[in-house]
Amino acid sequence: MKRKAAIKWTLDVLMTVALLFLMGYQFWGETVHEWIGAGMFIFFIAHQILNGKWYRNLLRGKYTAFRILQTIINILTLASMLALMYSGIVLSRHVFSFLPFRGGLALARRLHILGSYWGFLLMSLHLGLHWSMVLGRLRIKMRSAKTMKVRSGISLAAGILIAGYGISVLIRRDFLTYLLLRSEFVFLDYNEPIVLFYLDYLALMGTCIFLVHYLSRLCRRISSRRGDAE
């Protein structure tokens, strides 16, 4: 079980790094983008196989507030990744160019934009569902209760600051235009400093993690109170 958990954790890290890399298309070029995208899809498929038990239990057991939140985010993330997989293969000029796709480019282009921007946010939200595990590992290394309390306060303050900055990134980078497909052409600034670009996207990812992490805690508290009431 520990080995399987370690593999899942490694896949999550690899997918997160690949996701951030893919959003910076303008810095790396089309060929590299396609190869990283192909790797991302392999990681994602492996992730689904390792989490097969979750799919088998979808119709079993009680749905708590947290489980409902988790299910919605997971299913939407799956949908966005499937859209990316299909559109990426159809639009490919290098990795999958040998496949006999000749039509459907307009639809594939729309799906790729939707899948990219929704996928980025949804995968970030998915990370937020498991952020308690990350924090739990950090707490194991902290032996002092006082130190834990201080660091928890610092983490909360940092999270609020990052969330605020991430929301400004969402607005400044016009994410809603692409999330709602108001434009079929994505503006790419080839002269933008790479560091600033990735700082923005890390902040936006941090915003999603922050929101879902605390929403998850709220859902668990609601479920706990209902259990006590029963």
Output the average pLDDT for the chain.
86
pLDDT computed for residue 158 by the predictor:
83
With a cut of 60, say whether residue 162 has pLDDT above it.
Answer: yes
CB 39 within 8 A of CB 18: yes
Q: What is the tens place of the pLDDT at every residue in 75-89?
A: 999 999 999 999 999
Does residue 129 have a pLDDT over 90?
no
pTM assigned to the model: 0.87
15 close to 44: Cβ distance less than 8 angstroms: yes
pLDDT tops 90 at residue 151: no
Residue ranges of the domains in the chain?
A: 2-229
Residue 130's CB is within 10 A of a number of other CB atoms, namely 16
The model's confidence at residue 5, banded by pLDDT at 50, 70 and 90, is confident
| Residues 91 and 109 sit within 8 Å (Cβ to Cβ) | yes
Residue pLDDT, tens place only, 182-199: 988 888 889 999 999 999
Average confidence (pLDDT) over 92-118: 88
Q: How many other β-carbons are positioned within 10 Å of the β-carbon of residue 31?
A: 11
